[in-house]
Structure 1
């Protein structure tokens, strides 16, 4: 039993129906397990599977690629203790597969809004998250509020990370809250002064309330690091961070190959949630691409992630990079 992958229409649930049918017919999951895996209601899982059958998405032949994606999800969940993992089939050969990652992220956000389990959702920024929002259909927020999880003023307008939170507001009509701050300040003293301001303190307090934090993962490789490409930090600062052993970054926090935090001079000057705040609630990352496996592996090793959304090629690399049992 196999199914045809269709990326074309998130708005009419066709891609959701396809995945639900994959998990049920190929993955062998019950409809209740499908609902849990996809983070949707059981009634919707039943409806999606029925639609896949009605619309002719189910065919009688074996499609190994689809089955392998489900197997990769199970493998990554087991290796890294993830509660949630979704792997998109490879649909393009770009170094950064924004089409696949954007679809996964958009589907995840829409499901979260439909379930309404998270009254406050925190958002990171970056190209991958922007792609997720670009593919998000107009969806009613249902009272859900969105908040930025870190400062993001940059020196390059075209890399402005505020696009993420602004686009969410446009697509959902939700209340949104931004942090009108640089990513890094000149000193720890400057950070303390800004954190004491009532307006800024209120946004950080709301960010701490976020039961779901949806973020990207950054690399410390100079040529591929979005933090340097966007002008948030200097290239020499990133070089020093990498020399200190950092391989991956999430919300301004850096981790080495073993998932240990890497503290640098930058740590006390970054306008983002504390490490302790990151560990609260559900932290879900969407990340992938040729430059990202080592960075994603470092974040996975930290044990912080509740869930990971990635593409098939990256998933294979992560399995290959996994620690020996």
Structure 2
């Protein structure tokens, strides 16, 4: 038997001190007065209790599973920031608003005066703006990363740039060009126009990017529903291995750009260059975004992610299945 091990009475005293401190919330000076000990003695007993393994701290909170998901995602992919918000059961819209709020909070944490913020279009970015709570103005410049899509005003990139700049108290630089062009030649011509080139140069100097990821099939395939691509054609793209859309570019499961003609006709910042922006935050929610999220992460286009609990779990589960 170890002669230095505490005896029964000492163990009882240690346990009493630990109970008063951790369960009843008493300070060490209060415990000392209550038990007739010195504060130094109480401190030594607490330390001894820890060394003996008598202290196990369990945090009971509904947020703990979310933190676990954030750690798992950050372990699987090299993420600088990962935010997983609770799902609102039965309401995809309310869940998207939660994701937008989480993305807005993250944006304000990383944003600094003088920054350029590059953005894409989409419902997720619109939800971010609607739920953005700002308590001061930011001297920032908001710039689009893509051309616009007709017929989708409230989720159009120029509208979102203007709205975000208004919320932050900054300035928006607009991009007057369509996302989809009729040919590669038309796209190359537009990209060479000085006004378009100037916007892309500003994107290259962005400190933060906010981007959605799109699905190719399903009700949320906004870019390719707005573009004259039939549902049958979008299904064919999916069957050929396309799993998502990033800045309008079609990407496969590994995040590689598709070699089809659609990608050559986009007025948009290149995904591999977007990956060089210091903080690139992907914002997405819903079952149709699971494969696009994985594709964008595998391609290395995102270093930060904001999503909801169910989507995060599905991303990790699908990743395990495909491994």
Give the superposition deviation at 1:197: 1.5
Once residues 155 and 280 of structure 2 are traced to their aligned partners in structure 1, the CA distance between those partners, rounded to angstroms, is: 24
Give the superposition deviation at 1:161: 3.9
Give the superposition deviation at 1:193: 1.4
2:96 to 81, 95, 98: 98
Q: Which residue in 2 is equivalent to 1:307?
A: 304
CA contact 2:178–2:267 (8 Å) conserved in 1: yes
Once residues 295 and 158 of structure 2 are traced to their aligned partners in structure 1, the CA distance between those partners, rounded to angstroms, is: 26
RMSD: 2.3
Once residues 213 and 149 of structure 2 are traced to their aligned partners in structure 1, the CA distance between those partners, rounded to angstroms, is: 18
Give the superposition deviation at 1:139: 4.8
Once residues 90 and 202 of structure 1 are traced to their aligned partners in structure 2, the CA distance between those partners, rounded to angstroms, is: 40
Cα pair distance change 1:294/1:208, threshold 3 Å: same
Q: Which residue in 2 is equivalent to 1:167?
A: 163
Once residues 261 and 190 of structure 1 are traced to their aligned partners in structure 2, the CA distance between those partners, rounded to angstroms, is: 20
1:232 to 214, 227, 233: 227
Instruction: Give TM-score, length-normalised by structure 2.
Output: 0.75
Alignment of structure 1 residues 102-113 onto 2, 5 Å: 102-113=100-111
CA contact 1:184–1:233 (8 Å) conserved in 2: no
> Which is higher, the Rg of structure 1 or of structure 2?
2
2:194 to 195, 198, 204: 198
Alignment of structure 1 residues 129-168 onto 2, 5 Å: 129-157=125-153, 159-168=155-164
- Further displaced range: 208-217 or 256-265: 256-265
SS state at 2:280 partner = strand
Alignment of structure 1 residues 108-123 onto 2, 5 Å: 108-113=106-111, 115-116=112-113, 119-123=115-119
Once residues 160 and 176 of structure 1 are traced to their aligned partners in structure 2, the CA distance between those partners, rounded to angstroms, is: 14
Cα pair distance change 1:270/1:89, threshold 3 Å: same
Once residues 202 and 97 of structure 2 are traced to their aligned partners in structure 1, the CA distance between those partners, rounded to angstroms, is: 31
The list of structure 1 runs, each at least 4 consecutive aligned residues, that deviate by more than 6 angstroms after superposition, is none
- Further displaced range: 253-262 or 188-197: 253-262
Once residues 153 and 167 of structure 2 are traced to their aligned partners in structure 1, the CA distance between those partners, rounded to angstroms, is: 22
- Structure 2 stretches of 5 or more lacking a match? 1-56
CA contact 2:190–2:267 (8 Å) conserved in 1: no
Give the superposition deviation at 1:61: 9.0
Cα pair distance change 1:109/1:220, threshold 3 Å: same
Give the superposition deviation at 1:66: 1.4
2:250 to 254, 257, 260: 254
Alignment of structure 1 residues 61-100 onto 2, 5 Å: 63=60, 65-96=62-93, 97-100=95-98
CA contact 2:82–2:305 (8 Å) conserved in 1: yes
Alignment of structure 1 residues 201-220 onto 2, 5 Å: 201-220=197-216
Residue correspondences, number: 263
- Structure 1 stretches of 5 or more lacking a match? 1-59
Cα pair distance change 1:79/1:233, threshold 3 Å: farther
Give the superposition deviation at 1:276: 3.1
Instruction: Give TM-score, length-normalised by structure 1.
Output: 0.74
Once residues 138 and 82 of structure 2 are traced to their aligned partners in structure 1, the CA distance between those partners, rounded to angstroms, is: 25
Give the superposition deviation at 1:297: 1.4
Once residues 157 and 258 of structure 1 are traced to their aligned partners in structure 2, the CA distance between those partners, rounded to angstroms, is: 32
CA contact 1:139–1:171 (8 Å) conserved in 2: no
CA contact 2:271–2:301 (8 Å) conserved in 1: no
